[in-house]
Amino acid sequence: MEDNYKNNMVFGIHPVLELIRSQKEIEKVYIQGGTRSPEIAEIANTCRANGVPVQFVPIEKMNRLTRKNHQGVVAFICPIEYQPLENVISAVFEEGRDPFVLMLDRVTDVRNFGAIARTAYAAGVDAIVTPNHGSASINGDAMKTSAGALSLINVCRVENLKDAIDFLKASGLRVVGFTEKAKESLWKSDLTGPLCVMMGSEEDGISPAYMKRLDDHLMIPMPGDIDSLNVSVATGVVCFEVVRQRMGGKI
């Protein structure tokens, strides 16, 4: 059985079933497309019921993950423990502080994600919120790029970002999104108080469906000819403007 475990990878029907039943945090499960068996169906259904991302992929993808007898299923153990968003927000308010949350829409590059986590932790962000699907996996590369921050900061994986936005707004947080299409400058907006900052993918920014739910749309002024920044760099600019304002503009 030990041969079926490699780093944070678990493969084979029975080892993956054992992993799921152990209730350990699972980052993602890959299932070979077209595979049919009661055990595979149990794996897929249990993952969906517990909010674990499942992806059906061709055999070529499975064989790139491992050349050993994977039996059509490979799972990755998450190196961190995800936290419930509701618990984090409640705990911050109970401490007498204004929550500072960072929400990421479809940031899929693991190194960008790791760099963002490092910046967020340094800036005092209370939680990073990511969706179950369409988000970077928290793997060894992400952990390394974060320089340990992913082991320290709260990461909350949610089924639906729309519901997370609505929950945060109902909890008293102002939810703002950053896009080059916005007219209001980051420097002119009051970012003190309970706050959630939303950053979007490098390809097309924040999804329109989420933009409609936000309290404000802001932009980072850029006098140069380039109209956008790498998402990890943009996140750093935004996070430390929040820090500056929360410290009364003293940095």
E-strand ranges in the chain read 5-6, 9-11, 26-32, 54-57, 73-77, 100-104, 127-131, 154-158, 174-178, 184-185, 195-199, 216-219
Q: What is the pLDDT of residue 12?
A: 93
- Verify that 48 and 145 share a domain, yes or no: no
Q: What is the pLDDT of residue 6?
A: 46
80 pLDDT exceeds 70?
yes
| Stated pTM of the model | 0.86
Structure tokens at 103: 């929400």
Domain that holds residue 48: 2-77
Categorize the per-residue pLDDT at 4 as very low, low, confident or very high, splitting at 50, 70 and 90: very low
In tens, the pLDDT along 136-181 reads 989 888 999 999 999 999 999 999 999 999 999 999 999 999 998 8
226 pLDDT exceeds 80?
no
Report the pLDDT averaged over residues 19-41. 89
d(CA 184, CA 170): 24
Higher pLDDT, 51 or 197: 197
Categorize the per-residue pLDDT at 87 as very low, low, confident or very high, splitting at 50, 70 and 90: very high
2 pLDDT exceeds 60?
no
Within a domain: residue 38? yes
Answer whether 152's CB lies under 8 Å from 121's CB: yes
- Verify that 141 and 208 share a domain, yes or no: yes
Within a domain: residue 100? yes
User: C-alpha 30: how far from its chain's center?
Assistant: 19
Within a domain: residue 251? no
Answer whether 17's CB lies under 8 Å from 47's CB: no
- Verify that 50 and 104 share a domain, yes or no: no
Q: What is the pLDDT of residue 228?
A: 76
Categorize the per-residue pLDDT at 83 as very low, low, confident or very high, splitting at 50, 70 and 90: very high
Neighbours of 161 (CB within 10 A): 24
DSSP state of 229: -
Report the chain's mean pLDDT, rounded to a whole number: 91
In tens, the pLDDT along 203-220 reads 889 999 999 999 999 999
Answer whether 73's CB lies under 8 Å from 29's CB: yes
Q: What is the pLDDT of residue 250?
A: 56
22 pLDDT exceeds 90?
no
- Verify that 115 and 227 share a domain, yes or no: yes
Q: Which of 133-137, 213-217, 229-233 has the lowest mean pLDDT?
A: 133-137
Q: What is the 3-state secondary structure (H, E, C) of 144-209?
A: HHCCCHHHCCEEEEECCHHHHHHHHHHCCCEEEEECCCCCEEHHHCCCCCCEEEEECECCCECCHH
Categorize the per-residue pLDDT at 5 as very low, low, confident or very high, splitting at 50, 70 and 90: very low
The CATH number of the domain where 202 resides is what?
3.40.1280.10
d(CA 144, CA 218): 31
- How many domains does the chain fold into? 2
With 0-12 / 13-18 / 19 or more C-beta atoms within 10 angstroms meaning exposed / middle / buried, residue 45 is exposed
How much of the chain is in helix, strand and coil states, percent to nearest 5?
Answer: 40, 20, 40
- Verify that 96 and 210 share a domain, yes or no: yes
Answer whether 20's CB lies under 8 Å from 62's CB: no
38 pLDDT exceeds 80?
yes
d(CA 99, CA 173): 8
